[in-house]
Structure 1
Amino acid sequence: MRLIYLTIGWIAVGCAVVGAVLPIVPTVPFLLVALWAFSRSSERLRQRLLADPTFGPDIRHWQERGAIRRPAKVMAIVAMAGSVAIGLLMHLPALAITAQAIVLSAVSLFIVTRPET
């Protein structure tokens, strides 16, 4: 099982690296998955994520209080609204755009109701 959790952790870290480069892909949620996986497989890697100067504070704030920084909230909501707008510009089927808008509205509501750091 340790190898499975390590694999999940490293895949999540890889996705987070992609997210650090591409503005539409989130970074911290993948790091939270990695933290979860590493907490079951490698305490050293878990501590390394928590100690990271860039992402460690966001991860700790989420773990301690479920808190998200305001700029991250704004960026997430703008990206979600942008993805719905892209769907409209691409003339996707109305049902697909409606489903996307409903799901992303629910996610946006969740994000907005989280405490801020």
Structure 2
Amino acid sequence: MTVQSGKTGFRVLAYISIGLAAIGVVLPLLPTTPFVLLAAYFAGKGSPAFASWLERHPTFGPAIRDWRQSRVIPLKAKMLACSMMLLSWGMLCALGAAAIVLVISGTFMAGVASYLLTRPSY
């Protein structure tokens, strides 16, 4: 793999991650903050211009800086993410989703929630 194709791969992953973060803003099933942090990581590897834009963004920038400097996630972001995941899982349950869907989504959401809740807050 050439350096250019590696950078292209990271750039694509950065754009996919920020796209998922944007969807997560309106769709409770996806937490936004982890995808923003992933986008910042991938952009740093593949697109310095995009990384710079993310870091200066009024909404995403503070979370990225806090994570990079202190490895902290704002308490408000944690509570919102966990609440939305719980609400989403409850909606799946109420709408009669198959048991396998409930198990897989519940496991994924519990893993994300566990990770978020074990990170320091401010």
Q: TM-score, normalised by structure 2?
A: 0.76
1:1-117 alignment, distance < 5 Å: 1=5, 2-20=7-25, 22-24=26-28, 25-117=30-122
1:73 CA drift (Å): 1.0
The percent identity for this pair of structures is: 27
Going from structure 1 to structure 2, the CA distance change for 1:81 and 1:62 (only over 3 Å counts) comes to same
Q: How far does the alpha carbon of each residue in 1:40-62 deviate from its partner, in whole angstroms, 9 at most, with x for none?
A: 22223212211212111111112
Going from structure 1 to structure 2, the CA distance change for 1:18 and 1:40 (only over 3 Å counts) comes to same
Aligned equivalents of 1:97, 1:47: Cα separation in 2: 38
Going from structure 1 to structure 2, the CA distance change for 1:95 and 1:53 (only over 3 Å counts) comes to closer
Aligned equivalents of 2:92, 2:34: Cα separation in 1: 24
1:110 CA drift (Å): 2.0
Aligned equivalents of 2:11, 2:37: Cα separation in 1: 14
Aligned equivalents of 1:15, 1:104: Cα separation in 2: 15
Q: Where in structure 2 are there 5+ consecutive unaligned residues?
A: none
Q: TM-score, normalised by structure 1?
A: 0.79
1:99 CA drift (Å): 4.2
Q: Which runs of 4+ in 1 moved over 4 A?
A: none
* Matched AA of 2:16: I
Going from structure 1 to structure 2, the CA distance change for 1:103 and 1:44 (only over 3 Å counts) comes to closer
Aligned equivalents of 2:24, 2:88: Cα separation in 1: 16
* Matched AA of 2:96: H
